[in-house]
């Protein structure tokens, strides 16, 4: 229907309106009939896309980098020097001090009778100790020096299987250039074989008079 001052307008009849409403109702009813029986299944098994979690970007770190993380205003402590450590101060962690049985004193007093672990002694067949037979008087102190590049020991006994191994004296592990003292005050006179616990083929003899 149009008038002289109006443009053409298409108007819907009541019949067409009823058909449109009927189509919408049928579509909704059909969708409901499909969704309702499977509602519980859809809740238990949601689509994979709905399970994706968005991770937030980590916050920017500020401050000073340390051994325990980035902390504002904290600096990494520097290891304390032990070069000028006085008496009574603790030695640094991991440091080893050679020890002996029979009352050895590895840190104080003048050097005693020298016993040298020779350079290259770790090679089987090479000379091991100098002198090979060391003779001292009972009560004398022996100062052992490792001049090899590998660690060694001076350990009483004939070898690792000796039941009396290390019972009379033992310097413990001596690193390259290290020294240790052996006291003989509590060792009876006699001859005592000794060896290196690291290289048992290195053997020699101590004579206490």
Residue 69 has pLDDT above 60, yes or no: no
Residue 152 has pLDDT above 50, yes or no: yes
Radius of gyration in angstroms for the set of CA atoms belonging to the chain, rounded to a whole number: 46
Query: What's residue 111's pLDDT?
Result: 87
Provide the mean pLDDT of the chain.
77
> At a CB cut-off of 8 Å and minimum separation 6, what does 200 contact?
159, 160
| Pairing of β 190-195 and β 203-208 | antiparallel
Tokens, residue 189: 């006179």
Q: Quick: pLDDT tens for 7-60.
A: 565 566 788 888 889 898 898 888 787 777 777 766 666 665 555 565 666 655
Bridge partners, 114 (sequence order): 143
Specify the DSSP element, H or E, that contains 65: strand 64-66
Reported as a pLDDT band with limits 50, 70 and 90, residue 3 is low
Q: Quick: pLDDT tens for 102-141.
A: 434 444 568 899 999 999 999 999 999 999 999 999 999 9
Segments making up each domain of the chain, as ranges: 14-47, 113-208
Backbone angles phi, psi at 171, to 5 degrees: -75, -15
Q: When comparing pLDDT for 170 and 92, which is higher?
A: 170
Reported as a pLDDT band with limits 50, 70 and 90, residue 173 is very high
What is the three-class DSSP state of 192? strand
Look up the pTM and report it. Answer: 0.50
Query: What's residue 14's pLDDT?
Result: 81
Query: What's residue 61's pLDDT?
Result: 53
Specify the DSSP element, H or E, that contains 31: helix 14-35
Residue 83 has pLDDT above 80, yes or no: no
CATH class of 113-208: mainly beta
Query: What's residue 141's pLDDT?
Result: 96
């Amino acid at each position: 229907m149009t008038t002289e001052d109006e443009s053409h307008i298409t108007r819907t009849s009541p019949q067409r309106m009823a058909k449109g409403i009927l189509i919408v109702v049928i579509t909704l009813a059909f969708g409901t009939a499909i969704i309702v029986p499977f509602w519980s299944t859809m809740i238990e098994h949601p689509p994979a896309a709905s399970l994706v979690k968005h991770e937030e970007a980590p916050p920017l770190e500020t401050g000073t980098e340390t051994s325990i993380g980035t902390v504002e205003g904290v600096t990494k402590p520097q290891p304390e020097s032990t070069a000028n450590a006085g008496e009574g101060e603790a030695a640094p962690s991991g440091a080893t001090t050679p020890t002996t049985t029979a009352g050895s004193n590895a840190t104080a007093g003048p050097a005693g009778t020298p016993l040298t672990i020779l350079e290259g002694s770790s090679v089987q067949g090479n000379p091991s100790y100098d002198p090979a037979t060391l003779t001292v008087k009972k009560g004398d102190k022996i100062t052992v020096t490792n001049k090899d590049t590998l660690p060694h020991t001076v350990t009483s006994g004939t070898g690792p299987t000796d039941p009396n191994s290390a019972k009379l004296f033992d310097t413990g592990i001596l690193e390259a250039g290290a020294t240790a003292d052996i006291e003989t005050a509590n060792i009876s006179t006699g001859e005592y074989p000794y060896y290196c616990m690291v290289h048992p083929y290195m053997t020699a003899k101590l004579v206490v008079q």
